[in-house]
Amino acid sequence: MIKNIIFDLGAVLLNLDISKTEVAFRALLGSRELHTDVKQKLHLENFFEKFETNEIEENEFVATLKTKSKHPLSTEQINTAWSSMLLNFPAERIELLKRLRSKGYRVFLLSNINSIHLRDVYTIIREEHGNIDFDALFEKPYYSHLIGRRKPNPDTYHFVLEDAGLKAEETLFIDDNADNIRTAAEIGINTILHVANSNVVKVLEDYLGFEQKN
């Protein structure tokens, strides 16, 4: 019996388009070739993953990206480009979280994220839905840069289960990344591999067997 639900954030609750950040950085760097070269080198250094676990802090992240450009870039330009991928947070998904909790489910968030993106997610939600406390929609949110762990490392899931006092067999995890889902399933968590940016409300209605509107 499912008693606990852990949501991913990007492309599950918040609509996401990573290609927009790719396009924005190509424009900032001035060429597709330079962008490809920079991205490949940074990936080899696990630069982005380290930012998501706070091994690299925000100031260092921005400063490093500035050095990759052949012309001066401002912090604002980099932050704006980096957050271009963040789209919108449909109101029905906020209502879903409230409805699940009202039905007695324990609801959590587990996101690979960084300080810039989290700050801008809060801004998007305020602009779209007013001054709501996003984190309070969950019993507890787990953000990778704050817990120093990221998916799909098995230790991340074990940490959340232990910290929240959850049993894997009573827990459902929904994420759009197949690797993240695979690891969760291997340690006994029930999983849904979500189609990015699709209707998570309908997915949960079908899986849990109730109508959100009732």
Q: Where are the domains of the chain?
A: 4-16+87-208, 18-82
Q: Give me the sheet containing 4-7, strands edge to edge.
A: 140-143, 106-111, 4-7, 171-175, 190-193
Alpha carbon 73 to chain centroid, angstroms: 26
Segment 150-160, tens digit of pLDDT:
999 999 999 99
Cα 164 to Cα 153: distance, rounded to the nearest angstrom: 18
Which position has the token pair 């699709």?
A: 198
CB 96 within 8 A of CB 201: yes
CA distances from 213 to 12, 55, 99, 104, 176 (A): 20, 43, 9, 16, 25
Q: Is the pLDDT reported for residue 214 higher than 80?
A: no
Cα 173 to Cα 187: distance, rounded to the nearest angstrom: 12
Whole-number percent of the chain with pLDDT over 70: 98
CB 108 within 8 A of CB 8: no
Q: Is the pLDDT reported for residue 212 higher than 80?
A: no
Q: What is the dihedral of CA 177, 35, 32, 14, to 10 degrees?
A: 30
3-state secondary structure 82-139: HCCCECCCCHHHHHHHHHHHHCCCEEEEEECCCHHHHHHHHHHHHHHHCCCCCHHHCC
pLDDT mean over 112-120: 98
Name the CATH topology of 4-16+87-208: Rossmann fold (3.40.50)
Neighbouring C-beta atoms of residue 148, cutoff 10 Å? 12
pLDDT mean over 12-27: 95
Instruction: Specify the DSSP element, H or E, that contains 38.
Output: helix 32-44
Please report which confidence band the pLDDT of residue 176 belongs to, taking 50, 70 and 90 as the band edges: very high
What is the structure's pLDDT at 188?
98
